[in-house]
Amino acid sequence: MIEALRSAMDVSLERDPSVIVFGEDVGYFGGVFRCTAGLQAKYGEARVFDTPINESAIVGLAVGMAAEGMKPCVEVQFADYVFPAYDQITQEAARLRHRSNQQFTCPLVVRMPTGGGIFGGQTHSQSPEALFTHVAGLKVVIPSTPYDAKGLLVAAIEDPDPVIFLEPKRIYNGPFYGDHAGTSVNWSSHPAGEVPEEHYTVPLGKAAVTRSGSDVTVLTYGTMVYVAEAAVKAAGLDAEIIDLRTLLPLDLETIRASVEKTGRCVVVHEATRTSGFGAELIAEVQEACFWHLKAPVLRVAGWDAPYPHAQEWDYFPSAERIARALSKVMED
């Protein structure tokens, strides 16, 4: 997925001189996850550069540049470090178009590695998506495959509005089915691991049905798409798995069609449960599909506690927990 993200920035820098990439360690070194490796050498320091360690400055500068007409694609080193920039993102970037009645707009992308499963402890593991989906004016994207990662990132950079682009770092190098003790799989063995070199986009706002089925609908995104897959296999159910890809705006049509078909739904995310994005999904599902629902919609999510280091695999929503929820939702 790292190469896919790099390729997305590469083609965007190539096509549009107003695209510009910056963040902590992204310039000379190419990013602590290597997502921007080689880009400074290729496009020069004026297009790809290092910043001081100040996330609000990174986003604040990007807002000013975007208002002027550039298209900044900035990196926050970990999603856990986005909070100093929360004011600039939510109060400024998100509202500039509206408050200026379109005199100024804010086409920028804030990329950040998100989620756990890498033994990063509480400050390298958080999943803050719900803190952005509540904010009108933002788009919130989270890919689960290299192919989508590139196509969605290109679309995000080309989008006329600010996009929060969350990169599930657990699957940077390959899909992860929740078996942390097992051997890791590489993207090369996965069909969506293949990424065309040239420019393409995957549209924002469209979910993908990654497994169709009739028993129950699983709504999820990012790393949990694979863990859910494993859980479905384990539970031996014919579940439909929807990879939301864009959380805001939400592809409610795809969700509705699925839940109307299955009548059952489980929502899965890594983020803490209370007021997580799962809550929004459930609120929408029960309103849109109430008369089709045969059982309450269940959530499988991170516990409502800081992300622990040693107890990571007790915290991370496991395939077993998802499978239990799937079975439970089938009981009724």
Partner 1 sequence: MSKVTLSYPHPPARPDQAPDFSRIDRSAPGALDVPPLDITAQDCWPYAVGLIRVLDDDGQAAGPWADYLGDLTADRLKQGLRDMLRMRAVDQRMQNAQRQGKTSFYLQCTGEEAIGCGFQRQLGEGDMNFPTYRQQSLLIAADYPLESLLGQLYSNDLDPLQGRQLPIMHSARDYGFFSISGNLGTQYVQAVGWAMACALRGNDKIAAGWIGDGATASNDFHSALLSASVYQPPVVLNVVNNQWAISTYTGVAAGRSQTYAARALGYGIPAIRVDGNDYLAVLAVSKWAIERARGGHGPVIIEWFTYRAAAHSTSDDPSAYRAKDEAAAWPFGDPVERLKAHMILRGDWTEDRHEQTWAELLAEVAEVQKRVEAHGTFVNPKPVSPAAIFTGVYADMPEHLRRQRQEMGY
Ligand X SMILES: Cc1ncc(C[n+]2csc(CCOP(=O)(O)OP(=O)(O)O)c2C)c(N)n1
Rule CB under 8 A: which of 257-276 touch a copy of itself? Answer: 271-272, 274-276
Q: How far is the CB of 171 from a copy of itself (least distance, A)?
A: 23
Could you tell me which of 107, 36, 46 has the C-alpha nearest to residue 71? 107
| Separation between Cα atoms, residue 251 and residue 23, nearest integer Å | 31
DSSP per-residue string spanning 247-313: EETT-HHHHHHHHHHHS-EEEEEEEESTTSHHHHHHHHHHHHHGGG-SS--EEEEE-SSPPPSTTHH
Residue 70 binds which of partner 1, ligand X, a copy of itself, none (CB < 5-8 A, kind-dependent)? partner 1
Site membership for a copy of itself, residue 116 (CB under 8 A): no
Please give the size of the binding site for partner 1, defined by CB under 8 A.
Answer: 74
| Separation between Cα atoms, residue 143 and residue 1, nearest integer Å | 9
| Cβ-contact 259, 293 below 8 angstroms | yes
Which residues in the 59-98 window bind ligand X by CB under 6 A? 77, 81, 84
Q: How far is the CB of 198 from partner 1 (least distance, A)?
A: 25
Q: Which residue has the tokens 């990879």?
A: 243
Q: Which region, judged by CB under 8 A, interacts with partner 1, from 2-10, 140-148, 171-179, 301-309?
A: 301-309
Residue 105 binds which of partner 1, a copy of itself, ligand X, none (CB < 5-8 A, kind-dependent)? partner 1
| Cβ-contact 225, 270 below 8 angstroms | no
Q: How far is the CB of 81 from ligand X (least distance, A)?
A: 4
| Residues in contact with a copy of itself by the rule CB under 8 A | 56, 80, 83-84, 86-87, 90-91, 94-95, 98-99, 122-123, 130-131, 133-137, 248, 250, 271-272, 274-280, 282-283, 286-287, 290, 293, 295-299, 303-306
